[in-house]
Amino acid sequence: MEVFFHFPNSVFPYHVRSSSSSSSPSDSIPYKLITVHSSILLSRHLHSQAEKLCHLLSTSGLQINEFFCGRTLKRGRPTIRRATWLDFFSENDSSEKDFAGKRRFHPDTSHEKKPFNGRLCTNILLGLNVLVYIAQVASEGRLMFMGAKVNSLITQGQIWRLATSAFLHGNLIHLLVNCYSLNSIGPPVEMFSGSKRFMTVYLTSAIASSLASYRFCQSPSVGASGAIFGLVGSLALFVLRHRNLVNTPNGDLLQIGQVILLNLFIGLATPGIDNWGHVGGLVGGIGISWLLGPSLRFGSGKDDRRRRIIIDEAPIFRLIKRK
């Protein structure tokens, strides 16, 4: 959840209180438990679908670690042909760009496959959120000093608050709910998109969340939930793009949609939650994921038609090719 607060103007440090004077932190605990429960259900479903998709690719003779985790398992030194800065998003060390402006991945099956985990960046973000919260406690809750989203200060030029506010939390329950949600949603998205794209989606969603909150919500706010909503949007777009690879795409989209609507409803029903931040993060995550991909399809090599490859048709490759 992304929570907004009223800060006392006359004191540093200050005590943070909810923007609703009639509500107490315990009032929102039932809603937060509902959020955690929905995250548990979605997490189980996502991990089940990830295992099925991995099995499908494995039986097709494709290297799962390359596809999901961005690793290339080769003997000897990997080669890069026609490498550009777009390789940052290709998540592969062996690639070539064809004349259609698409990225081709050539899976290597010469080595034994290792179990994928796909959660390095998720773990880093979880650790960072916890460390920042420890720093908050040590500083006696100086949220404004540490970078909360405060519209007046952003207007004065402190634009870094659009990003730093996503790593701050109002209290321990707020931190735990967001960390659990990130731990549930993050690994599947990181597996599907790769670590670099995952971090780009997360940070872009965080900034988009703060921008929407800056535009439509005057109260100061903190929280990682806007970025997490962006990951959910990225996952929904992945399922929509790859309906032919997912066993039950309609069921997946329905379950993801239910989680989004449930959390938006909780935001409307609970005082002190910044719904504009949630919506901004969701839109930002979908938008950047549409641009960067992945948007994959199966194909065959030019020289060897029997060689099976995965082609990434993310729009960014076509846009750069036109320029």
Cite the active site residues.
225, 278
The residue type found at 286 is I
CA distance 132 to 128: 6
Answer whether the bond into residue 107 is a cis peptide, omega within 30°.
no
CA distance 16 to 6: 7
The residue whose two tokens read 């036109």 is 322
Give the other-Cβ count within 10 Å of 83's Cβ. 13
H helix intervals, the chain:
29-59, 64-69, 87-90, 120-138, 143-146, 151-155, 161-164, 172-193, 195-216, 225-241, 249-269, 275-292, 315-322
Instruction: Compute the residue count for the chain.
Output: 323
Most distant CA pair in the chain: distance in Å? 72
Task: Find, among 148, 75, 155, 143, the residue nearest to 109 by Cα.
Answer: 75
CA distance 29 to 235: 27
CA distance 278 to 264: 8
Both structure tokens of 275: 């719904």
